[in-house]
């Protein structure tokens, strides 16, 4: 009997690492010819969703986006590389770290332009949250991300609780 990747209890971040490439066209930019933030986040969401779904072996939906940082601009004609990598899986949710670089066709240098953390929830056939397999970090950076993902999750849970309390008190 063959074992499918989806039967595993644990997977390494490399198994689902996803790298995508885009080119900045005029429709993607603001009047200054710089890549629009919303367009970039859309590309990052797509790459990160592919990463999470390959890890889970299931459909997954975006539930949150945190710590988005626009570090540098990208301009028309730039080649954009997006790397999405799992940091950690919990019960039904998964955190993916997305990093983005830009380079012009004529340059060999890449500039880091954005970083963000996406959280996805895997769904079953009834669109209910479904369990996912765990992450086995291998490299030093992966191990660090794995530990810090727990802190980021606690911070998100604290925000959710305070939002619910605020909603209740606001009637």
Question: What's the token pair of residue 132?
Answer: 């996912």
* For ligand COA, the closer CB: 101 or 117: 117
* Binding segment toward ligand COA, per CB under 6 A, in 11-19, 22-30, 57-65, 106-114: 57-65
* For ligand COA, the closer CB: 107 or 155: 155
Binding to ligand COA in span 61-90, by CB under 6 A: 61-64, 90
> H helices within 21-64, ranges in order?
37-56
Please state the closest distance from residue 165 (CB atom) to ligand COA, in A: 15
Cα–Cα distance, 39 to 128 (Å, whole number): 29
Secondary structure of 53-72 as H, E, C letters: HHHHCCCEEEEEEEEEEECC
- Consecutive H or E run containing 20: strand 18-23
Count interface residues toward ligand COA (CB under 6 A). Answer: 13
Q: Which of 65, 81, 129, 134 binds ligand COA (CB under 6 A)?
A: 129
Q: Does 36 bind ligand COA (CB under 6 A)?
A: no
A 10 A CB-CB count for 16 gives 22
In the block, residue with structure tokens 């009047």: 31
> CA torsion sign, 149 to 150 to 155 to 157?
positive
Binding to ligand COA in span 106-125, by CB under 6 A: 119, 121
Please state the closest distance from residue 121 (CB atom) to ligand COA, in A: 4
Helix (H, G, I), strand (E, B) or coil at 159: helix
* For ligand COA, the closer CB: 75 or 128: 128
For ligand COA, the binding residues (CB under 6 A) are 61-64, 90-93, 119, 121, 129, 156, 160
């Amino acid at each position: 009997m063959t074992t499918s990747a989806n039967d595993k209890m644990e997977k390494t971040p490399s198994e689902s690492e996803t790298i995508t490439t885009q080119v900045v066209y005029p429709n993607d930019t603001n009047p200054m010819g710089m890549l629009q933030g919303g367009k970039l986040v859309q590309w990052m969401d797509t790459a990160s969703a592919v990463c999470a779904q390959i890890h889970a072996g299931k459909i997954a939906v975006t539930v949150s986006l945190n710590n988005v940082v626009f570090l540098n601009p990208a301009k028309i004609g730039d080649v954009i590389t997006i790397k999405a990598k799992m940091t950690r899986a919990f019960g039904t949710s998964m955190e993916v770290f997305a990093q983005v670089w830009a380079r012009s066709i004529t340059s060999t240098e890449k500039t880091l332009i954005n970083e963000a953390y996406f959280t996805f929830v895997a769904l079953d056939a009834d669109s209910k949250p479904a369990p996912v397999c765990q992450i086995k970090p291998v490299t030093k950076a992966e191990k660090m991300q794995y530990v810090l993902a727990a802190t980021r999750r606690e911070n998100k849970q604290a925000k959710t609780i305070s939002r619910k309390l605020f909603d209740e008190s606001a009637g």
